[in-house]
Amino acid sequence: MAAPGTQLKSKRPTCPSCSKPTSLCLCIRIQNPGLQNKVNITILQHSLERKHALNSARIAKLGLQNVTVSTVSDVKFDATFMIHLFDPGHDSGSGQNGEKNSDFYQVMDNEADEFDASHVTKGSKEPVITCSVGKYGVVTNISIGNVWMPHVQWKRRLSLDKILASKVAVDDLAKGFVVKKLQKRRVNGSDEVEEVEEFEVAVPPGSVLLFPSKNALDVDGLKAMDFEAKNLIVLDGTWSKARRMYCENPWLRFLPHLKLELDRLSLYSEVRHQPKAGYLSTIESIVYALEEIGDYPEGLDNLLGVFESMVSDQRRCKNERLSKLSSA
């Protein structure tokens, strides 16, 4: 409550769609909102990135039709991942109703061969993998379901590498799976810890992770494997946060990795640190990846223009604040 004789300072009105101040709204700058992208985009967004003034994932959500965003936080104490295979008997053209941009989406429709984000496909009842992960991605425990027991070669200690060495396991995962993360956290700042579900994400066939790991391939490399990208998974956060998300979500290792061979500075470079050329913002990475894959709806470049204008807004606001400080 405000002290007597004082007034509460009202917050600036914000746009409910882009979450920017109405004076800096991005929505009106997008020429063709909801572009029909054939390759679905799944964004794993770090929890600290969601409200950042320069977060560019919001442009992807506004500008592209098939985008799903799930929030991911750092592992503080312990996290458990459970992976279920898609039910082999399911009809990939049907499922339970879900919401656009929810944490679930369905595999490709066999008839339309388009990604349908408005349905949910349930996975198998028994998890094929249950994995406990500590801070910075240390795997403390891992187990597999009975369906893989005869096919995964291990004696004393099971590991992700041994699962990846099983052709049966790799082939099953390539047909699609659902991953659920349970995260432990403190209750209201006390010493008590509770376990909550952080996300549940379905990973359909044709999923590829956009991340420049040591074994990542370029688009030509994927084509040489006869791999058709249908779902692009993107990590949204600073580069240090993206690396931590990658380490703390070991299920990402089950996916092919895609890298972009680009030697250009990000539009971010003037207002946000980029480690080196080729390290791009989320929306730049998405646009350039879609271009290389061959999914190029008309108006896609406009999203980069919107991003550039957002960076210009931030630069102008920063200069105005510095000018006020210097004149004070």
For residue 15, give the amino acid letter.
C
Distant-in-sequence, close-in-space partners of 82: CB < 8 Å, separation ≥ 6? 127, 129, 130, 131, 179, 180, 182
The pTM of this model reads 0.83
Return the structure tokens found at 79.
């996290």
Look at residue 102 in the predicted model and tell me its pLDDT: 35
Report the alpha-carbon distance of residue 34 to residue 272 in Å, rounded.
27
Give pLDDT, residue 15: 92
From the list 15, 24, 101, 38, the residue with the least C-alpha distance to 300 is: 38
How far apart, in whole angstroms, are the C-alpha atoms of residue 65 and residue 196? Answer: 30
Cβ atoms of 201 and 231 closer than 8 Å = no
| Ordered per-residue pLDDT tens for the chain, 328 residues | 445 554 444 477 999 999 898 989 999 999 999 999 999 999 999 999 988 888 999 999 999 999 999 999 999 989 999 999 986 544 333 233 233 333 333 333 333 344 343 333 445 578 999 999 999 999 999 999 999 998 998 767 899 999 999 999 999 999 999 999 999 888 887 888 899 999 999 999 999 999 999 999 999 999 999 999 999 999 999 989 999 999 999 999 999 999 998 876 666 656 555 555 457 899 999 999 999 999 999 999 999 999 999 988 877 877 767 777 777 6
